[in-house]
Amino acid sequence: MTERRGGVTNQIEEFLDQLLVASVDAPPRATRHLLAETEAHLRDAADEAMEAGATRSAAEEAAVARFGSVEALVRAEAAPRTLPLAALVRPVVGTALLIGGLAGLAMGVSALFTAVMGSVAGSTFIVNISPHTYLAPSDCTRWLSQNHSTHSCYQAALQDWSFEIVAYRAVLGVLGVLALLAFARLRRRWSARQLTFSLPRSPVDAVAFVIFAGAGVWLAGLGIDALIASAGSGAGVGLGTAPPMLVLGAVFGWRLLTDLRDALDRAPIRT
């Protein structure tokens, strides 16, 4: 029901009632602040008009008219609470570049470890293949034509596959470096514009710890299993990749513990 003062409609109160109803989906605190600010502006505008000689009804009508519609005010108030798509995508892209770049870098480091293991322990240490494995004649022809120093299809396949294992890891390492460079460049650009470039630190540390530590433990387990069950055949793949993954897992694990300790230090002490 519209409030009246001396038989005259109180248009400011009516406007505030409509604003309250239209703001039903907004947070309660935001609604209280919006109503208080709106009422203060409307009252001030009406008082100025009355001091200039307008009647209360005319002053309130003019104040409400200048303030705009309830719908426009609610939309304007809700706009800051709605994040644009770029604000949601940007932190995800930045975090993906960071974690993906570090994963690629770890694979690049594993290429060096795997190559050393292969040169010391032999190609069979990084390639799980037996002399009894069936090899297609067409593949044998190709491998033998590329490896003139080998005299059997098995040896040629072993050399080719061991080279691919190391080469693919090296390529991933290069891609990882490029991803980290892209992350650093975007971070400088977005930081200069005061834009968020990554997800919050604690969730990122937790996810990275699970990814790298989990991958490191799993790969180490595969390598140890190959040492026991397959006389070391193919063990170098897991054992060569596990160390850099475990190092990254340890780094992010330490960061996560630091995050938790800082959060506990900032928590209020209840007495």
Summarised one tens digit per residue, pLDDT across range 135-183 is 677 777 776 677 777 677 777 777 878 888 999 999 999 999 999 999 9
Average per-residue pLDDT in the chain? Answer: 84
10 Å CB burial of residue 128 (0-12, 13-18, 19+) is: middle
Q: What is the sign, positive or negative, of the torsion defined by CA atoms of 126, 130, 134, 136?
A: positive
In sequence order, the 6+-apart residues with CB closer than 8 A to the CB of 179 are: 97, 100, 101, 104
Once rounded to an integer, what is the mean pLDDT over residues 205-220?
96
Q: Report the domain count for the chain.
A: 2
- Same domain? For 89 and 216 the reply is yes
In a domain, 181, yes or no: yes
pTM for the full model?
0.64
Domain C-terminal end among 54, 81, 108:
81
DSSP class per residue in 91-102 = HHHHHHHHHHHH
142 and 226 in a single domain? The answer is yes
Do 193 and 88 form a contact (C-beta atoms < 8 A)? no
Question: Does residue 148 belong to any structural domain of this protein?
Answer: yes
Residues 72 and 202 placed together within one structural domain of the fold: no
Is 271 inside a domain boundary?
Answer: no
- End position of a domain, from candidates 81, 107, 124: 81
Question: Could you tell me which residues are beta bridge partners of residue 96?
Answer: none
Asked if 34 and 156 sit in the same domain, the reply is: no
Residues 21 and 59 in one domain: yes
**Segment 97-123, tens digit of pLDDT:** 999 999 999 999 999 999 999 889 888
Q: Are residues 105 and 49 in the same domain?
A: no
Based on the domain organization, do 17 and 140 belong to the same domain?
A: no
Last residue in a domain, options 49, 81, 113: 81
Residue 37 has pLDDT above 70, yes or no: yes
Q: What is the pLDDT of residues 177-201, one digit of tens each?
A: 999 999 999 888 877 776 677 778 8
Residues 228 and 216 in one domain: yes
Write out the residue range of the structural domain in which residue 43 sits: 4-81
Same domain, residue pair 46 and 34: yes
Task: Name the band, by pLDDT with cuts 50, 70 and 90, for residue 130.
Answer: low
In a domain, 52, yes or no: yes
